[in-house]
Structure 1
Amino acid sequence: MGCLGRIRKRLKGHSCRKKKIKPCKESHPPNVSRLGELQSSVPSAVAPQELQRTSGRAPRMHPYQERNHSVVTVHHQTTGQESRLIREKNELRTQLQQKTDEGVRIKGDRDEKRRKDEEIQDWIRRQWQLQQRDNAGRDAKRELELRNERMKETLRQKDAEIAQMKESMDATERLPKIGSQRQHQAEHNLRQSMEISEKEATRALKEKNDLTQKINTLQKELATKDERMGNDKKQTEAILQQKERELDSLRTALGTENQHLRTQVESLTAERDSLQTTIDSLKAERESIRQQYTEVKAVAENFQYRLSNEFCIRLASDETNMENISVKHRPAKIAEKFAQIESKEWVEAKEVLDERFDDEKTNIQILLFMLKFACKCAQQVFDGFLSSEACRLYNPVATTTDILLTEQNQNSGGSPRVPGSILKEITAFLKGTCGDCDIESLMQSVVDKMKEVHGDDIAPILQDTHVRSFVQACCRLSWQMAVQQPPLTVLTSNTHYDDKCHQLWYNSPPPSKSKGVSRDEIDYYIWPELRHSDKVLKKGRVCLKPIPR
């Protein structure tokens, strides 16, 4: 057997050796499925085709490649275990944070405190398990370091074998030229094997350095997380002690309050018994008083009904005796509206007329005519309503034909006599609707009358917003005045000044200072008097004639 044969035999024997890897000292079996996934995801260090011989035999893994493959497998196993440990540690930290939040919300229940204690014990057990797993990771790291030392030792042995083979090759140089070709081929294969071994050794060393750096980083992170978890545990224990002290104080306070409440309940029970006796006597007295009240109420209701009927009849015939404040459109409110129109709508409409006509007196008379004509039309509408509808309500059978209605109007002087009760219902209905009813027809009558008296020159003025607002206010007020009983009227027929009925215009001459009946004559009315029968509700505004000297 030559030198080349011995080299082949040694390589063959080395490839048949098996590396014995000690199992990781863990309390739980390794995750085989996860390791399989990691091994499948790592590419092989050297392609098998590079070691395939030209003789056509099946490819066989090189010893250095087999060694590198085992190192990569162990490295990925360790990395997978550390990743799993980190995930479990994060999960335990999340659970610890949740339990800490639950401990803050403890309100002093003993059962809840016991449950929290059990959770803390469980957390301590999990922490212990985590510590055990950390210890297992450290053991795996030490095992990895031992394997690296063994690999270095193996590399040194191979280097020694390579040196011996070089010496053998030097000795074979003296052999005949027949074996020189085989020797060159063996040297070439040996160089390739050495280059591959050096590359694998360099790669393994680099991976080892990376793994060492990662392990150091993980150790630092584990130390930081352990410190944080210790701080969180201390805070949780402090909060639990504080809540326990609060629970003890609350129990003491509740015991004192319960004793006080029992005393109050006993006193209230005695008081309730005494009050019940008083209530029984008062109920008997109430029944007797209720019976007396029922008898008196029946008499009072009968008297009130007779008095109300009599009062309604009198009030419907003349509302000046007493004013019902529950009616929205009563004479007092109409008087306020009468004065408001003079101070607002009348002033705005007069300004529009003053811009068109220069004569102030003529403008005032135009506005006064609008108001007086609106009152006249409203009264005619109300009288017509009584003549047509009120008679049908009073005697519907006899008024079904126009002939009977005409005879009745002639016998009553043109205005039917309506009983007080029916007249009251009619006026009450009209008073309720006079503020919202449609007055367009009444406004149109005033506009047509103004065009008839003053011609088409006044038509543009009647279209003005302020003038139209004045006409609308006058028509609304006139209808509210007409539905009263008796109706409200405007008066401009007095010829002499009376301070009880009149007010002076701003540019009117002053009245005479003589005592007795005033002899001052009225030149013209600016705003009429408002009267309810003989009662003056609002004074009229007048301008006196100048006193001759």
Structure 2
Amino acid sequence: MATSSEKDLQSDAKNFCESLANVFMMKKRDPQTQHLLQKSKSLIEALLQDKRTKSERPSIPPKPSRGGGSMGQLWVKLDEMKRENDELKKQLQTKSHDDKTSPGKSPGPGDVIVSELHKSKNENTSLKTQLEKALTNVKELEKVNATLQDEFKRTKIAHDVTQKSLEKVKQDHRSLESSLSTVQTENDSLKMRLTHSVKPMKRADNRYVENINEKCRPSNIAVLYNNLESQEWMDAKEALEDAGFEDEEAVTQFLCEMLMLTYTISSELLTDIENGLSGLLKDPCKLLESSYLNCSKEKSILPEEFVQGMKDILRQNAEGIDTEPLVNKCQELIRQDSTWEQFEGILNHKSINRYSDRCARLTWQMVVQQTPMYLSTIDECFDDDVHKLWWSCDKSKAKMIKYFVWPALYDSKNGNLLVKGCVNAC
């Protein structure tokens, strides 16, 4: 029985070595597997050698049992071999467990295969998750694509409708242009008939009869006067405030004074022209004196028809005059007046210059009318029909005028009011 047990043990050891050899062949002879195979062989040989040594020791013959015979000896021997076999298995298992759990040793081929299997499973699981996410994204993109296609169809339909509407609008526009051209032709024809039907008076008064073909006429000047207040005057006021002039009363009075000065200068210039021409008609040789027009102060005795024709020419050229001499004259008078010395340094500001230019051009157009238009700042009592209050004033308490913010415009002196004056009253 002992010999059969040893043969079985040897057969198991050989089978184990062959299994390791097969693993070694599958792993392409890597050093780790070769090391494990050699170690396993040496361990098995050491166990076999230990078994041989124990079998060579002299054994004490067992005492024959009285009634058991040779069968009792065989059973005792079998029990010993079983115990030895169990001890060898335990030693082999303990040795294999130590080899696996020792930190300094490399993992066996089975562990490598298992770890690679787990790694492949994890990668497979990760790839499956990514695939599911990709499929979900594809479905979402398909939904978005379907929505965009629907939007595109609706947009295309709206575009087609808009194109049709645009074509219709263009046709209506062309029709309106044709109608407008026809109306303009009829209007021009009526203007010509009206102009020819009005017989000129001996002394035409443009307050009652305006030539609608003339740009420089009182109604247009009244519109420009309102624009001057809402645009250039406002820009000049903001420029003064930005420059540090915080006294609103002084600022508004200064701008009003500039307008009145240019009006006075324009009126005096027209008077000088009439007086100078009158003197030249009396004595044409005076034109040779370079300073004649500057010092001519004689009262004009020109015929009314001559003055009327002269003003017609002046009105025709009113928009193209060079206003710089008028602006310079106005600034010169301001510098000479100590009341406005605080504003002397800002007279050349861009907004102030533009305001001065517009004042000069507009007041010149006022004075060259057949009956000169009139700017007034002489009222003392507040009149709601003639004046409008400055924003900071209380209308219920307004009685006396403190100062003018904006002059009142009349079609002539003591004539009809065209634009209300703006005042500060208390």
TM-score, with length taken from structure 1: 0.38
TM-score, with length taken from structure 2: 0.48
